[in-house]
Amino acid sequence: MPMRRMRKLNQTAKRVPNAFHLVGSENENLPRRKSRSCKFVRAAQYVSCDLGIVMRSSILRSAALLLSLPAWVFADNSVVNLSHYDMMRPDFVAMKSEGILGVIHEATYPRFEVDSKYLERQQAAKRAGLLWGAYHYANASDPIRQADHFLSVVSNAWAQANPATRSPGVLLVLDFEKNGHYPGGTMRVDQAIAFIQRIHERTGKYPGIYSGEYHLNRTLTSSRLGVPQTRALGSCWLWLANYSNQPRATSPWSAWDMWQYCGDGLCKLPRSAYPKSIANVIKAERNIFRGTRSALESFWQEHSWNPGEKSREPERTLAAEL
Peptide bond into 252 cis (omega under 30): yes
pLDDT of residue 311: 55
Q: Vertex 68, ends 62 and 70: CA angle to 5°?
A: 125
Q: Which amino acid is at 177?
A: E
Boundary-marking domain end, from 19, 46, 68 = 68
Note the pTM of the prediction, 2 decimals. 0.76
Q: Is 270 in the same domain as 285?
A: yes
Total number of domains constituting the chain = 2
Lowest mean pLDDT across 29-33, 43-47, 63-67, 249-253: 63-67
Q: For strands 113-114 and 102-109, give the pairing.
A: antiparallel
Query: Can you spell out the DSSP letters for 254-267?
Result: SS-SEEEEEBTTB-
> Mean per-residue pLDDT for 101-130?
97
Show the domain range for 147.
72-321
pLDDT in tens, 164-203: 888 889 999 999 999 988 999 999 999 999 999 999 999 9
State yes or no: pLDDT of 260 exceeds 70: yes
Please enumerate in sequence order all residues whose Cβ is within 8 A of that of 209, keeping only pairs 6 or more positions apart, or say none. 173, 174, 176, 192, 196, 216, 233, 236, 237, 238, 239
State yes or no: pLDDT of 159 exceeds 90: yes
What secondary structure letter does DSSP report for 281? B
- 3-state SS, 103-163, equals EEEEEEECCCEECCCHHHHHHHHHHCCCEEEEEEECCCCCHHHHHHHHHHHHHHHHHCCCH
Boundary-marking domain end, from 48, 68, 88 = 68
Q: Is 133 in the same domain as 22?
A: no
Q: Is 279 in the same domain as 262?
A: yes
Boundary-marking domain end, from 35, 68, 101 = 68
> Mean per-residue pLDDT for 275-303?
96
Residue 303: pLDDT band (50, 70, 90) is very high
For residue 228, the domain's CATH number is 3.20.20.80
CB contact at 8 A, 77 and 286: yes
For residue 68, the surrounding DSSP H or E stretch is: helix 36-68
Please name every residue paired with 81 in a beta bridge, in sequence order, or none if there are none.
Answer: 104
